[in-house]
Structure 1
Amino acid sequence: MTRFPKFALAATLALATVACQDPVDKAAKARIFSPEDPPKVVASAAEKLPPEDVADNPRVARRILSMDAAEVTERLGPHTFKATVSYEWTGAPGTVTTRLNETRTFRAGPGGVSGDFHGVLENSRDQGLEVMRVGGKVYARNRYGTFRQRLRDRGIAERTRTELTGAIRDLDALFRGRLQLSPQGTVTHEGRTAWRYNVTLGPEGNTGTTPTVLPALAEPKGGRDDTTRRRLAFFENRTPKSLSGEVLVDTETSVVLKTRLDGRITVPANDAGGAAELRMVLESALSEIGQDPKLQPPENFLPDADKPQGIADALDRFGIPRNKPEGTTGPGAAQPADEPADEEGN
């Protein structure tokens, strides 16, 4: 009677041993108990991008020109980024020229992708925004507003960081990836050795990136409005005409240290509007490399709010009571309904 339980126990252990030797189970256990992968940005920052290959390798050129601010911080450490971008739209003779100038400032503290940072965007039309992330807490405001803590706007700080520092990436995209770089030796910027490249408008061809296939746009029932039609016509029909300038790339980290670009794009006349030309000028530079800006949260800020009060909040601000006091009547007050007549005449 005692031999059967011992035999059953031995058989169970044998089966368990065989199961543990199954390669599928081993692979699953390896995945479950393996260390957590580092953030994608950290892995990208570890990739070697030889700056001397920028002119001959489109993939390396696109990686360096489109490098995200988080990866720049991982590679370079604390720094300050400043850029000015100007846009000038010129239409047919007799039309008004439209100009817009932007100023972008970004300061990154230590800590890599998870570190503190402060970004400011302002333009010549008195518009702008300001975002800070200090100690893991995010604060934001418009140009003339008061800071408000943003506890639930997940990703707002990271998106702003990417957009503020992505001017050269955006310009490269507008010019359909046709920035052609020619090496001109090395120079010194902020005490660092950098490769200097002259920029010209290159031919259409391999940009080193994989084209993104997007689904067809949904057509509104009433048709597209004029503004949307003009924007789509620009992106679909734009033709780069000229581009010049220079780019400095750090020899140690492959980060773009300084940029000066001046280019023109034309759009032929189409159903959405007449012919037009866009001139875009970009100047950017990194400074204070390796210096901790020692960012501090704003002294005064509003707490996060579930939902703005909207109209009621505006009424309070101007001292207008939300409800009429009891017992008062006015033009907007409800009048009491007449009592129904007594059917019996009493």
Structure 2
Amino acid sequence: MTRRIVLALAGAVVLAMVAVGYGVFTTAREHTPVAAANALSLAPGPRIMFRSTAPDSKGHLALVAADEPGGPRSVSALTCLRVYAAGGTGTCLRQDGALTTFQIAVLDKNLNVVKAIPLVGVPNRTRVSSDGRLVAWTVFVAGDSYNHGRFSTRAGLIDLKTEDMVDSLEFLSVTLDGHPYTAPDLNFWGITFTADDNRFYATMSTAGRRYLVEGDIAAKAVHTIAKNVECPSLSPDGKRIAFKSAIDGNPSKGWRLTVLDLATGTRTPLAETRSVDDQPAWLTPDTIGYALPHGTADADIWTVPANGTGTPRLLIPHAESPAALN
């Protein structure tokens, strides 16, 4: 099968993207209270893990009490571009030492790095299955022959129990609207896992359109189930997907946070009307968390009810990439 011609990423370009898009450079704004970082762990509890964007802990993996999200944060020594955790497994998308390359560091419950997987591209999204067995990532890449120098996406996953890895979802069989489909411009991003350690959802784009796909790891296949769905996040009960929906189907107009009922296909726009360019996270069965940037070097985590009611609420200042440790 003909696949893309991938050019090497220039180190200077990659570092520039990190500096601008992930907040390497910043101007101090205010002090954020920091708690003692003793015995940090991913054990279940009413806490939220996130990437700090505060001036005194910028880029560090941090945790805060769910009932006092604006209070003191426990900050680890790990610096990351994105983080996530579930089932006692954590992920940290990060630069590979002093190199201009990147990796996904897999963390145990005590935040020790137990596996580091090289990533060909700039990290963008990560997720972990509810039992901690499956880990996923999305990266930006440059140089695809069809894309005229613009950036594309790659998404992959690994089963930590079997060590089986899917380097890129592009190598899976694709069914679009009930028919087998191949194309050189397939892009995938924003994986989210079901509870059975086999199925997942993700975004696929081709021919200028974006689709929600359901994937089967054992069958090495994906099929489309809905249109205009980006960065899906499956609810704890497995019945709903929170996602960002391009306004009028056009990402240049921004995105609206929305929840899709998988059984009925009903879409519920959420009360957050600002454009959210993030993969939302379910902080509770009824609450969605997401990051909103201010400037290019800082962000805050906000929440909004998952049923379309209420109003957005600031949850954690100077933070992004939330994951609830329930």
TM-score in terms of structure 1 length: 0.25
Q: Which has the higher strand share?
A: 2
**Higher relative contact order by CA 8 Å / sep ≥ 6: 1 or 2?**
1
Q: Which has the higher helix share?
A: 1
